[in-house]
């Protein structure tokens, strides 16, 4: 695997071994080098094309030694069709010898400067994609509580939408007060089994994990640590809903844009 493969994915909690990219010559803090690690590929909504497009880097990208075990990488990415360009910045941590022939790397942070040329979310991407992208943007800005709030909203939204399909009331009696989420989730899951089997007994626990951060029971560092595994589980719920035939038919009839999440869910659930 090459470094470009890691840079083309979301930040991770585990390391991945890639081919060495700095060479044998020692480089100190603050030193800069152009490196060849393959093309970085990121998907954005191109406003010029009015479509989701893959934006690609050039053959060489800029690498700066940020610390003894970390590099900062700046990349210009161009739309594969119209050539519109945006910038991306990556902070990559490295275990062991930074100049090794094979190094263990982890993408810690990823931010973009999209100007007004592209966006992470297209005009028709819908509520679910929008919430997911807001969660990821907050995470990349190191806003732990903010990232978890959007994940919780996504979890609540998919559960409530399935309740509407199933004719399950989301309010208490004749009042307009919302039902406790625990009870709503239990009833929805009984009807449609939206919680994947591997953690079916812990569906509400996932919601509790998201809520603890929001209510101040966890600090920002803890929230950031929990974000990626919680995101993975929330997306597995969305995926479970997508593959249910009855729900899929109802989703299509309602015109939801859950399909926009397909690529992200597929990539997420491979890890």
* pLDDT confidence of residue 179: 86
Q: Is the dihedral of CA 119, 125, 126, 132 positive or negative?
A: negative
Higher local confidence (pLDDT), 203 or 254: 203
What average pLDDT score do residues 214-229 get?
Answer: 78
Answer whether residue 268 shows pLDDT above 80: no
* pLDDT confidence of residue 261: 47
State pLDDT tens for residues 20-79: 999 888 888 889 999 999 999 999 889 999 888 999 999 999 999 998 899 999 999 999
Answer whether residue 120 shows pLDDT above 50: yes
CA-CA distance, 267 to 258, in Å (whole number)?
15
> Which residues are registered as beta bridge partners of 245?
none
Name which of 91, 47, 101 is nearest 69 in CA terms. Answer: 91
Higher local confidence (pLDDT), 92 or 256: 92
State pLDDT tens for residues 162-206: 898 888 888 876 667 888 888 888 898 888 888 887 776 666 778
User: What length is written for the chain?
Assistant: 271
* pLDDT confidence of residue 201: 67
CA-CA distance, 63 to 128, in Å (whole number)?
35
Q: Give the contacts of 143 (CB within 8 A, at least 6 positions apart).
A: 220
Answer whether residue 242 shows pLDDT above 60: yes
Answer whether residue 253 shows pLDDT above 80: no
Q: Return the structure tokens found at 55.
A: 């934006």
* pLDDT confidence of residue 35: 95
In the block, which residue shows the tokens 């900062």? Answer: 72
Answer whether residue 147 shows pLDDT above 60: yes
Answer whether residue 264 shows pLDDT above 60: no
* pLDDT confidence of residue 123: 47
* pLDDT confidence of residue 53: 92
Give the global pTM. 0.60
Answer whether residue 136 shows pLDDT above 90: no
Higher local confidence (pLDDT), 148 or 125: 148
| Residue % of the chain over a pLDDT of 90 | 28
Q: Give the contacts of 185 (CB within 8 A, at least 6 positions apart).
A: 159, 195, 203, 204, 207
The region of weakest confidence among 13-27, 215-229, 247-261 is 247-261
Pairing of strands 41-46, 118-119: antiparallel
């Amino acid at each position: 695997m090459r470094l470009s493969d890691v840079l083309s994915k979301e930040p991770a909690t585990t390391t991945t071994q890639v081919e060495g990219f700095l060479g044998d010559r020692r480089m100190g803090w603050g030193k800069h080098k152009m490196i060849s690690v393959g093309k970085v590929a990121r998907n954005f909504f191109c406003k010029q094309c009015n479509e989701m497009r893959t934006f690609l880097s050039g053959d060489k990208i800029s690498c700066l030694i940020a610390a003894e075990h970390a590099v900062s990488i700046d990349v210009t990415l161009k739309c594969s069709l119209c050539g519109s360009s945006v910038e991306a910045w990556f902070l990559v941590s490295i275990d062991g010898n930074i100049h090794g022939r094979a190094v263990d790397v982890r993408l810690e942070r990823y931010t973009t400067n999209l100007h007004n040329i592209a966006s992470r979310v297209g005009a028709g991407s819908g509520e679910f994609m929008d919430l997911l992208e807001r969660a990821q943007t907050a995470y990349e800005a190191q806003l732990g509580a903010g990232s978890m709030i959007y994940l919780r909203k996504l979890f609540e939204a998919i559960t409530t939408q399935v309740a509407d399909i199933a004719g399950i009331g989301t309010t208490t009696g004749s009042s307009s007060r919302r039902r406790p989420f625990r009870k709503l989730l239990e009833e929805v899951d009984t009807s449609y089994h939206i919680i994947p089997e591997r953690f079916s007994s812990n569906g509400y626990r996932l919601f509790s994990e998201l809520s603890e951060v929001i209510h101040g029971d966890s600090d920002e560092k803890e929230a950031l640590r929990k974000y990626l595994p919680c995101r993975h589980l929330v997306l597995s719920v969305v995926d479970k809903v997508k593959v249910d035939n009855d729900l899929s038919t109802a989703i299509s009839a309602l015109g939801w844009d859950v399909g926009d999440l397909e690529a992200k869910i597929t990539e997420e659930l491979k890890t």
